[in-house]
Amino acid sequence: MKERTYRRERDSMGMVEVPTEAYYGAQTQRAVKNFSISPYRIPRRMRDALALIKSAAARTHAAQGIIDPEVSGAISRAAGEVMSGKLDDHFPLDVFQTGSGTSWNMNMNEVLARRGSEILDGKVAIHPNDHVNRGQSSNDVIPAAMNIAGRIQSAGFAGEMRLLQQAFEAKAEQYGGRIKLGRTHLQDAVPMGVGQEFAAWAEQIGAAAGHLESIFPRLQELPLGGTAVGTGLNSTPGSPEGMIRIIREETDIAFRLSSNPFRQISARDEMVALMGVINECAVILMKIAQDIRLLSSGPRSGLGELVLPSLQPGSSIMPGKVNPVIPEMIIQAAVFVMGKQTSVTLAGQNGPLQLNIMQPLIAHEVLSSLDILEEGVSRFRTRCVEGLSVPEGSTESAVEKSLALVTPLALRIGYDEAARIAYAAYEGNRTVREVLYEEGVLTGEEIEKILDPRGMVWPEEKKKK
C-alpha cells in the first residue's frame, strides 16, 4: 500500500499538513480532524448547489470587473467538475460540524480555488476567500444552497408521488366495477367498491404531492447578498441580483432574492415546513403500505383480496412463502423519515439571535429524507402497485357473508330489529339474507332490493331498477 504524503499549508492559525493529492486546504483539514465522528457527508444536492452559487458569484464579479475573467472561468469550470461528480473525493467533511456550515463553505472555496489554479496552470493563484468567496458569507450561502437543493430535490420527489398517484388511479379504473367489504376497526363494515379504495389512495398521494408543490415558492427565495447577518456587509451592489439571474438560467427555476435576508439567515422556517410535508408523505405512504399488506395477507388464511408481485423467497425455512417485501420496505423508510422530522423540528428552534446553528443537520435530514422517499416511492410503484391484482371472486364472497349487510334494513324495520337479525345470523352461522327469508320479515323482492350490495355502493344503480 502506497504511503500517504502531505504538503504544508498555512492559514490564519498557522501551518497544517494536508494530503498531497487533496484539492482542499488548511481549513478543511482542520475540520476533518475536529469533526470526523460519523459516516455522513455533505448531501450531493447540497454540494452541487454550493458549486452553482460559487460559479454564479465568480461570473457576476467578472462581469462587474471585480475579478479577472480568466479567474472567473477557471472557478466556473471547477464548479462544473464538482457538479459532474468528478471531484467527489475532495469533500470529506462530516455533517456534524460547526452549526453555520462554515466548514462546508470553506471546503468548497478551497477545492474550487486549488482546482481553478490548476486549470490556469498556476499562472494565477486563486484565493479561496478573496476570489471564490468574494462578497459572500457562509451565513447567507449555506441557507441559499439548502433552499436550492431542497427545491430541486423536492420537485423530483413530487414527480414520483404524481406517478404513484397515476398508478393507483389506473388500478381504480381497472377494478372500478368490483365490490368488496369495507372494514373499520379491522371489523366488517358496509360494502364499497374496490376502485373506491384505490381511488382514495390516489387522492391521498395526489393531495400530498400538491402540498409539496405548494412549498416551492418559499424555497425559491434566497438570502444571497445578506452576508453575515443580513446587512449585506462586503457584498458588492448588484452582485446578488446577478447571481440570482445566473442561478435562474442554470436551473430554469424562478429563484429570487429574499425579501428579508435577516429572517432566512437566523431561521430555517421553509426547511422546517418542507420537512413537515415530507413527514405527511411518509405517514400517508405508511398507511397505504400497511393497507396493502393487510389486504394481501394469506394467501389462504388471510384476507387475500390483493395479490402482490412475487419478487423473492420470503422465508429461509418455509419453502414457497412470499412476503410483502416492498410494502415493508416503504413502511421502514417512512418510520426512518418520521424520526428525521423530530430532528428538523428541534434544529429549527435553534436559531439564537441572528443565526441558526444547526444548518448542516437540517440539510442532511431534509435532503436524505427526500432521497430515500423519492427512490422508495419509485420502487413501491414499479415493483408493487403496478403489479397488484385482485383475484376473481375474492372480494364478493366476503360481502354476502357480512353481517353489515343489515345496515340498510334499519331504515325499513328500525335499528333494534335490524340488530336482532344480525345477531341471529351470527349465532346461527347464517347470512342476513337467509335469516330474513326464514323469518319472512320482508317479501323476497324487498329483501333482494334492500340487500343488493351494488345498490349500497352505487345508489344510482338502485334507482335505475
CA–CA gap between residue 450 and residue 462 (Å, rounded): 9
CA–CA gap between residue 386 and residue 389 (Å, rounded): 9
Q: Name which of 100, 127, 104, 109 is nearest 227 in CA terms.
A: 100
Is the separation of the CB atoms in 25 and 126 below 8 Å?
A: no
Residues marked as catalytic: 185, 315
CA–CA gap between residue 382 and residue 185 (Å, rounded): 30
